[in-house]
Amino acid sequence: MTYCVGLMLKHGMVFMSDTRTNAGVDNISTFRKMFSWDVPGDRSITIMTAGNLATTQAVISLLEERVKAAQDRNPSILQAESMFQVAVLVGDTLKEVIADHAEAGQKADSGFNATILVGGQIKGGDHRLFMIYPEGNFIEASADTPFFQIGETKYGRPILVRAFDAEMSFDDAVKLLLVSFDSTIKANLGVDLPLDVRVYKADSLSCDHEFRIEANDPYYAAISDGWGGALREAFGRLPDFDLTKFSD
């Protein structure tokens, strides 16, 4: 399993992904699911992946190869002229890889599907965030739906729905994501630290902050320990229920 979230803020974007992969509970590993391409002054692109690891690694490798081989005639993520074109490129690559694996004969139990979040900005355009489906098509975040989640999305969704604000600071956005990730990590063994984080400030055309939150991070521990108490306090401040008023 996996959990990745991309938040679209007025003044930029924040990305967070976990690093746990598993094929059964007795076969777990740590793999990076966040990838980036930065050309300062020209573009900053972040990709996060969920789904079949062979598929997502193949997609990233193909995107990387095309970046490196200058003579390669394929369109490159570094040459695309807009974030829309980047999304088309990633979608096409994803669709190709899945089709390739699927026709290889033997069927896997869980399929070769994957879902990808792509966000960033290219000079001359706005910062944009896309969610790309296994079929290669995609949707874009908007003011109405300002964040996307992929992987194990349900446990961490209520707090995002209630507390997200497109004008919140980057600090608050990272904190919000940590609460959402903590709820998910507590409930699903397939999602775990370390967490990769990237913060992109609109129009900077460079990565502003990129770091990893390790399993023993003291701030994460403070959030994780504090949230239970904070929730119970919040619960206590809601109006009390009175059974005697409802009984028949």
Shortest distance, CB of residue 223 to a copy of itself, whole angstroms?
6
Shortest distance, CB of residue 92 to a copy of itself, whole angstroms?
31
Identity of the residue, 55 or 149, whose beta carbon is nearer to a copy of itself in the bound complex: 149
Identity of the residue, 71 or 241, whose beta carbon is nearer to a copy of itself in the bound complex: 241
Identity of the residue, 71 or 244, whose beta carbon is nearer to a copy of itself in the bound complex: 244
Phi/psi-derived region of residue 78, left when phi > 0, alpha when psi is between -120 and 50, beta in every other case: alpha
Contact assessment for residue 97 and residue 55, using Cβ atoms and an 8 Å cutoff: yes
> How many whole angstroms separate alpha carbon 160 and alpha carbon 147?
9
Identity of the residue, 123 or 209, whose beta carbon is nearer to a copy of itself in the bound complex: 209
Shortest distance, CB of residue 200 to a copy of itself, whole angstroms?
12
CB atoms within 10 A of CB 206: 14
Identity of the residue, 94 or 176, whose beta carbon is nearer to a copy of itself in the bound complex: 176
Across 29-56, b (16+ Cβ under 10 Å) vs e yields eeeebbbbbbeeeebbbbbbbbbbbebb
Shortest distance, CB of residue 65 to a copy of itself, whole angstroms?
26
> How many whole angstroms separate alpha carbon 178 and alpha carbon 204?
24
Shortest distance, CB of residue 12 to a copy of itself, whole angstroms?
11
The answer to whether the peptide bond before residue 75 is cis (omega within 30 degrees of 0) is: no
Q: What is the β-pairing status of strands 195-201 and 20-22?
A: unpaired
Shortest distance, CB of residue 147 to a copy of itself, whole angstroms?
14
Identity of the residue, 80 or 195, whose beta carbon is nearer to a copy of itself in the bound complex: 195
Query: Interface residues with a copy of itself (CB under 8 A)?
Result: 154-159, 161-163, 170-172, 174-176, 178-179, 183, 186-187, 197, 199, 208-211, 213, 219, 222-223, 226-228, 230-235, 237-243, 246-248
> How many whole angstroms separate alpha carbon 94 and alpha carbon 162?
33
Contact assessment for residue 75 and residue 89, using Cβ atoms and an 8 Å cutoff: yes
